[in-house]
Structure 1
Amino acid sequence: MDIAELTALLTPEGLRLLDEIGPLDNTDDAARAVSRLRAAGHSPDLVAGVVGQARLRVRAAAKFGPFAERMLFTRAGLEQATRLPIAARHAGRFRAAGIERVADLGCGIGGDALGLAGLGIRVHAVDADEVTAAIAAYNLAPFGDAATVAHARAEEVDLTGMDAVWLDPARRTAGHAETRQVASGEWSPSLEWVFALLGRIPGGVKLGPGFDRALIPDDVEAQWISADGSTIELVLWAGALARDGVRRAALVVRGDDAWELTAPDDSPDVDSRELGAFVHEPDGAVIRARLIGEVARALDAGMLSTGIAYLTSDAALTSPFVSTFRVREQLPVDTKKLAQALRARGIGTLEIKKRGVDVDPAVLRKKLSLRGDEAATLIVTRVGSKRLALLADRV
């Protein structure tokens, strides 16, 4: 979306059309809507803005639920926005720390600011991009003076009167549609500026889950977060927002439920052991936080192989921090023999998990030519230099 489209959209006519057109689920629906609106005499900018937003609202429902129906987006802004349930959890930490006013520096379309304002925290949201800031202002308008928005660079914001900051440095090239990731040295604001600011005022900074651990300051809490099986972000908490004695945390969210594992530092891995009755795959947040050892000790499990994130045990224990599989049997690793074994067992639906081996699950599935009514999970990994194929069932 460019400024001309946004200007046309932010009118009574534009917003009325957007509400009337409803969700557009696919390109055919969008094409028909374009033809209908153009035939009615609406300008190209208005048509592009309305149809684009109707498409984005459909996609945004996964992150913002029913709130998406009354929000505006850019494609890049939606991709980078924090899911609203996660933003609410971030906001809960600010509220628990007694924070009343937060500067959201790099607010994007306003996802995290919505979480803060929704919990009664006054927020001043700032974005360096004019269109994005305008969209954030629209999305935060229901909160009135409790949520203000400015078009400015984070480095230029007067933080007088603010109790804390929330930062989401731009990690991609500028734009509202197709963007690309840039090196950490090109982030805006820079990491050096961000970390210096967090040394002066309490706050949190949202980063990608694959952020270089060597760059994490020693005096912050690093919290990796997964949602519904995907590791989505790393948040570094500083000052009053960092918990005493916690430097590593893994927050696992599934639907409305959440579990967290914390530790004062990386947790040493446990020793490897022989394959047991169960294999456990740690959640991505647990792996990123290097807390596999904590989970292993709770499950009385060992590493299936040193350096590979699979655990094994004989006890039928489960944990929200792992996916657990009951091992049926070990199968041949050779693709032809593996296919024969699966057909003999009537396996037609197969989930393929792999770690430590150069296997493309999509390619392997095609080569297996599966057929049958049974379902199972295939775990392909290695123990030392030996490859291993395990037929298993999710617990």
Structure 2
Amino acid sequence: MSHAPQEQIAPLLTTEGWELLASLGPYREADSFSVNADLRKAGHSPELVAAVLTQSRLRTRAEAKFGEFARQMLFTQAGLEQATRLNVAARHAERFAKAGISHVADLGCGLGADSMALASMDIAVTAVEMDETTAACATINLMPFPHATVVHSDATSVDLDGIDGVWLDPARRTTSTSGTKRIWDPEAFSPPLSFVEGLAAGGRAVGVKMGPGMPHDSVPANCEAQWVSVGGDVTEVTLWFNTVARRGVRRAALVISSQGAAELTSGEDFDGGPVAAVGPVEGFLYEPDGAVIRAGLVADVAERFGGHLVDEHIAYICAPELHDSPFARAYKVLEVMPYNVKALKAWVKANGITVLDIKKRGTAVTPEELRKQLLPSKRDTKHAKTATLVLTRIGEERVAVVVEPVTF
């Protein structure tokens, strides 16, 4: 999955390295130079100091995904980028537990996030990782779980006899000296989607995490596709096959926020479901969550709100009533104007606006550039007046909608 140099991890797998890493407080970039100097002055080798500081930085970054568990884990840069957040991994594991699966092979386990979640539910886990450094990290991360075993091997060549569930998180990035680069073709993933479909054809419970931008026509016909967003960011689409797929659910949007989790599902294929009407910009404007958009469920939300789209190709909904929903952000429509920079600049000046939030969909305008054009160079920071503009297209006409965010 990732290819961090072996030497960056090896020094940490010694008593000296592990104790030194544990002795460091939270990583701060501003302090890293002096900490480096102090550790080297204390007699630690440059290789160990570099490894410890790199790991300390990764642990601090990993807290967003792993919480306090991050302090006891080992990471690689590429592994952390692709690792599943622990609260999402717990939902993956729940699927296998509810289906009564007793032994899961986590093929391409990376740093072991999903394996940790599975093992914490008393499911036996065979965690398979081809990259030696990443496998070493996973071994450390899974040490608290006696039901988990790490195997350093190619995911496609593991014997699955006696294993009734398979989880996969294929590598969707290539790593080079210039960093990591995302791959888009599901057949170029490691392992490829066709390998996953082959596993599912045998009747096993199979789940696979894919990138959220996966096109609908690449989604296999015999699975459930669940798009997941966390805190407004769409993190993945998971494909579920056989006993871990829910009956009557073809596609779903799972929205996880600080308020909890909510899900919208449809039994229809991607070209089915309700067709939303198209109407004027009025009342309240709704910006659907990214998972709702990716799952093709915008029309379902419009129907739920008794609303309509402002353009059949653009994911903005208008409805006469105000709805508090986890599936869309609400704005009150104040004014609708044709998109014209000169007119907008005059509007900004006339209203004394000093802070401008610009949202857009269906138009090539760059919000940062437009903001520079519209706002005065000298602004009254003591008496800041904020406004929100939504730029979009209605047919061929570009419009600017003045809105007010609604807070519940």
**What amino acid is the match of 1:279?**
L
Give 1:174 shift. 4.4
Where structure 1 has 5 or more consecutive residues not aligned to the other structure, the ranges are none
Match in the other structure for 2:243:
240
Q: Does 1:253 align with 2:256?
A: yes
Note the alpha carbon deviations across 1:98-146, whole angstroms, 9 max, x for none: 11211100111111111112222221111110000110110111112x1
The root-mean-square deviation of aligned C-alpha atoms, in Å, is 1.6
Cα distance change of structure 1 residues 247 and 191 upon mapping to structure 2, 3 Å threshold: same
Q: Does 1:311 align with 2:317?
A: yes
Please say which of residues 168-177 and 204-213 is displaced more in the overlay.
168-177
**What amino acid is the match of 2:282?**
G
Whether the aligned pair in 2 keeps the contact of 1:286 and 1:292 (CA below 8 Å) is: yes
**What amino acid is the match of 1:343?**
K
Whether the aligned pair in 2 keeps the contact of 1:73 and 1:135 (CA below 8 Å) is: yes
Match in the other structure for 2:211:
208
Which of 114, 117, 130 is equivalent to 1:115? 117
SS of equivalent to 1:179: strand
Distance, in Å, in 1 between the alignment partners of 2:260 and 2:192 is 34
Which of 56, 59, 63 is equivalent to 1:57? 59
Distance, in Å, in 1 between the alignment partners of 2:322 and 2:190 is 48
SS of equivalent to 1:328: strand
Identity in percent: 47
Cα distance change of structure 1 residues 63 and 305 upon mapping to structure 2, 3 Å threshold: same
Give 1:256 shift. 5.5
**What amino acid is the match of 1:74?**
T
Give the alignment's TM-score, normalised by structure 1: 0.95
Note the alpha carbon deviations across 1:186-223, whole angstroms, 9 max, x for none: 22112211111122211100000111221211110011
Q: Does 1:141 align with 2:143?
A: yes
Whether the aligned pair in 2 keeps the contact of 1:74 and 1:177 (CA below 8 Å) is: no
Give 1:336 shift. 2.9
Which of 276, 286, 297 is equivalent to 2:303? 297
Where structure 2 has 5 or more consecutive residues not aligned to the other structure, the ranges are none
**What amino acid is the match of 1:155?**
T
Whether the aligned pair in 2 keeps the contact of 1:102 and 1:122 (CA below 8 Å) is: yes
SS of equivalent to 2:180: coil
Distance, in Å, in 2 between the alignment partners of 1:154 and 1:325 is 47
Give 1:184 shift. 3.1
Distance, in Å, in 1 between the alignment partners of 2:192 and 2:338 is 51
Cα distance change of structure 1 residues 175 and 108 upon mapping to structure 2, 3 Å threshold: farther
1:151-170 equivalences under 5 Å are 151-170=152-171
Which of 188, 191, 207 is equivalent to 1:189? 191
**What amino acid is the match of 1:347?**
I
Distance, in Å, in 2 between the alignment partners of 1:365 and 1:93 is 46
Q: Does 1:390 align with 2:401?
A: yes
Give 1:333 shift. 2.1
SS of equivalent to 2:115: helix
SS of equivalent to 2:182: coil
Distance, in Å, in 2 between the alignment partners of 1:63 and 1:117 is 18
Distance, in Å, in 2 between the alignment partners of 1:273 and 1:8 is 63
Please say which of residues 78-87 and 313-322 is displaced more in the overlay.
313-322
Match in the other structure for 1:31:
33
Distance, in Å, in 2 between the alignment partners of 1:208 and 1:338 is 38
SS of equivalent to 1:41: coil
Q: Does 1:381 align with 2:395?
A: no
Whether the aligned pair in 2 keeps the contact of 1:30 and 1:55 (CA below 8 Å) is: no
Note the alpha carbon deviations across 1:259-312, whole angstroms, 9 max, x for none: 001111233430101222111111111111111111111100001111111011
Match in the other structure for 1:339:
345
Give 1:332 shift. 5.0
Distance, in Å, in 2 between the alignment partners of 1:75 and 1:132 is 10
Please say which of residues 251-260 and 125-134 is displaced more in the overlay.
251-260
Whether the aligned pair in 2 keeps the contact of 1:225 and 1:231 (CA below 8 Å) is: yes
1:268-287 equivalences under 5 Å are 268-287=274-293
Distance, in Å, in 1 between the alignment partners of 2:403 and 2:339 is 15
Cα distance change of structure 1 residues 175 and 152 upon mapping to structure 2, 3 Å threshold: farther
